[in-house]
Amino acid sequence: MKTVYFSNKQKPWLFRKSVFLFSHSLASIAPSLAIKFSKKLLFNPFSRRQYKFRRVPQPQNYVVPISMGDISCLKFGNGKNHILLIHGWGDTALRFSPLIKTLLEGDNTIWCFDHIGHGNSFGNYSHLFGCIEGVEAVCEFIHAKGHRINKIVTHSMGGLALLNMPANFLSDKKIIIISMPVQFFEAMFQKLDNLGFSQKLMDISLNRVSKEYATEWHTLLPDAHRHKIGAGFTFIHDKDDEFAAHKNIQDFLETLDCNFISTSGLGHNGIMKDPTMLKQINSL
């Protein structure tokens, strides 16, 4: 449900009460059915399913399999430097079209992909565990092709997925993380509460996925990965970001040895198409 995660509006009391009674009762009486309900509604990113790059040369297409299905992976150019782009929740690789155009002006090869359940990748069910698995699989695929990734650029939740990669993988690369929601789960719970959904519904759903991956979902949170962040990292965040508060990322990075660039007036997505910022990202 895209409106769950990208809306800050609270529904009227009567609507919220009705949703709460339904979702809490479902989670209490029929947990298996509640999980199926979550898969179809709360874990469906409702991402654009068909798109075409129009501002850049058409890419080479690859298929990268993971446990949840096949991932659509794209390659632009044939330059010396290999750059991986990772999009956020409910989005697609098309988000990077302006950046790809800028990066192709240099001696670069650009790799990007649609997370599982997004874009041209398989299914309509996704979660952070699956996105992390996708990042791992795509990186292994690029490595198997004989290439070394020099730089990684992420947007929104893509940054959180990347931070869950091993520290030794991240340490020798330039990492640019844009508009990352530090309080990803906290914000998600708040938005669900704004609609009236019972916390119990989300708890049993997250616990089920945690069991499938043999990893507690709490361990995916950014605070568990702060030790991986170093001088090779650059964070870019807008002061007017409506979905991921600027203060949260500022506090998160306060004692860390990394670069932090603040913008204003661009919001959550505007950095990805601002000409000045695109040139700066290219130069990092």
* pLDDT the model gives residue 6: 56
Nearest Cα neighbor of 69 from 5, 117, 20 is 117
pLDDT of res. 27: 86
Residue 8 is predicted with a pLDDT of: 61
* pLDDT on residue 76: 98
Q: Tokens for 135? A: 């990042």
Tell me how far the alpha carbon of residue 183 is from its chain's centroid.
13
DSSP conformation letters of 137-199: HHHHHHHHTT--EEEEEEETHHHHHHHTS-HHHHTTSEEEEES--TTHHHHHHHHHHHHT--H
CB 1 within 8 A of CB 44: yes
Give the range of the structural domain holding residue 8, as residue numbers without chain letter: 2-283
Residue 262: what pLDDT? 98
DSSP code for 58:
P
The number of folded domains in the chain is 1
Asked if residue 134 lies in contact with residue 113, where contact means CB atoms within 8 angstroms, the answer is: yes
Q: What is the pLDDT along the chain (284 residues), one digit of tens a residue?
A: 455 555 566 777 788 888 888 888 988 898 888 888 888 877 889 888 889 999 899 999 999 999 999 999 999 999 999 999 999 999 999 999 999 999 999 999 999 999 999 999 999 999 999 999 999 999 999 999 999 999 999 999 999 999 999 999 999 999 999 999 999 888 888 878 888 888 898 899 999 999 999 999 999 999 999 999 999 999 999 999 999 999 999 999 999 999 999 999 999 999 999 999 999 999 99
- The pLDDT score that the predictor gives to residue 38 is 82
CATH number of the domain to which 118 belongs: 3.40.50.1820
pLDDT of residue 4: 56
Please report where in the chains the tokens 């962040």 appear, as a residue.
229
The pLDDT of residue 17 is 84
The reported pLDDT for the residue numbered 3 is 52
CA 73 to each of CA 85, 92, 93, 108, 121: distance values in angstroms, whole numbers, following the listed order: 11, 11, 9, 17, 8
* Dist CA 220 CA 181 (whole Å): 13
